[in-house]
Homo-oligomer: A and B are copies of this chain.
Amino acid sequence: MHDTIASLGEFGLIRELFLPLQFGEGLGEFDCGIGDDAAVLTIPRTQQLLTTVDTLVEGIHFGSDADPFLLGQKALRVNLADIAAMGGVPHWYLLSLALPASTPLFWARRLAEGLAEDGQRYRLSLVGGDTVASRSGSITITITLFGLVGQQRAVLRSTAQLGDRLLVSGSIGDSALGLACRLGRIVSPQQQDDIDYLTRRHDLPEPRLELAQMLQDSSLLHAAIDISDGLIADLGHLCNQSRLGAQLHVDHIPLSAAAKRLYERDGSALEPLLWSGGEDYELLLSVSPGALEMVGHAAQRCQVTVTDIGVVVQDPGIAYYRAGQPMAPLSHTGWTHF
């Protein structure tokens, strides 16, 4: 018989599991964190505040058998990817948890351990939150993340420029393939290594904070967005908000070795999943053609690949190219919740 969170109680949970996630000095200044009515944060006068919120819902974003250690980290990292896309530095977060009273205590403990590890990795402090019961038996994890960026230095979606090259970090489609493997929607004859790699990419995004900050420090970014709804949809957001369009070279979209092996087998049937599956949490960057070489150097220093997949053009919408030739647009262009 395992203990449930009810054995510790709401305030016991906060004291034992969450208070240790609040780091002291050196990790972003705050005057008052967990335990008062609100957190009090000091924003240096040269900086603006960035804030973003994401909710993960059991049965939608994760299954009931998901590892809570990874779940805590994913909840943080989907927000970290947003801060990266603004060119900012993350510092603090609020955690709001809705949990059934029957949730095993070890589940909550593992969640906190995952948060603790990523808190150290990314130098983040928990500064408050809310812990409530959920009657429906389903878990909801909401993280509000706070970062800083120099005054008027945030990298927006709406400031891409005509002629900009479009770059993506890392590889695209792994997360959607990983989820499809897990759900049995792709029966894979692949090596277990490939499946492990792809599901890992789904479970644990890699926010490209270092790359984004380095590029932002050198003023190399005209615009950026993190790829959460799928490459096609998020490229659409960037273009629409910049009142421009894009030529997208679909055969330039970077795939991992594992994704390539699946793609070689299943071919174009896999393309909607790869390009529009979502949850990549890679960066899509819009940069001046003259900056490409410097961006490449920065990426090398961060050990992140960046790949040129197209160009910003005047005509609105996305024009698709394969092997240099125009092709028909995709019908399924991105994840939407309803």
Q: Which residues of A contact B (CB under 8 A)?
A: 4-6, 8-11, 13, 31-32, 35-43, 45, 48-55, 57-61, 81-83, 85-86, 88, 94, 96-99, 101, 127-138, 140, 142, 144-147, 149, 151-152, 154, 156-158, 224-226, 241, 336-338
The residues of B that contact A39 with a CB separation of less than 8 Å are: 50-52
Residue of B nearest to A226 (CB): B37
Q: Pick from B11, B37, B61, B226: contact of A157, CB below 8 A.
A: B37
Given known A9-B336, A31-B48, A49-B43, contact A37–B85 (CB-CB < 8 A): yes
Q: A38-B50, A59-B134, A136-B137 are in contact. List 5 more A-B contacts (CB 8 A).
A: A35-B157, A38-B145, A43-B48, A55-B97, A101-B337
The answer to whether B94 touches A32 (Cβ under 8 A) is no
Copies in the complex: 2
The residues of B that contact A61 with a CB separation of less than 8 Å are: 132
The residues of B that contact A52 with a CB separation of less than 8 Å are: 37-39, 94, 128
The answer to whether B225 touches A134 (Cβ under 8 A) is no
The answer to whether A59 touches B158 (Cβ under 8 A) is no
The answer to whether A51 touches B130 (Cβ under 8 A) is no
The answer to whether A51 touches B226 (Cβ under 8 A) is no
The answer to whether B48 touches A45 (Cβ under 8 A) is no
Residue of B nearest to A79 (CB): B38
The residues of B that contact A137 with a CB separation of less than 8 Å are: 136
The residues of B that contact A32 with a CB separation of less than 8 Å are: 154, 156
The answer to whether A55 touches B135 (Cβ under 8 A) is no
The answer to whether B136 touches A136 (Cβ under 8 A) is yes
Given known A142-B142, A336-B10, contact A134–B38 (CB-CB < 8 A): no
**How far does the alpha carbon of A32 sit from the alpha carbon of B52 in the complex, in Å?**
12
Residue of B nearest to A40 (CB): B154
The residues of B that contact A60 with a CB separation of less than 8 Å are: 98, 132-135
**How far does the alpha carbon of A295 sit from the alpha carbon of B305 in the complex, in Å?**
62
**How far does the alpha carbon of A37 sit from the alpha carbon of B87 in the complex, in Å?**
10
Residue of B nearest to A151 (CB): B42
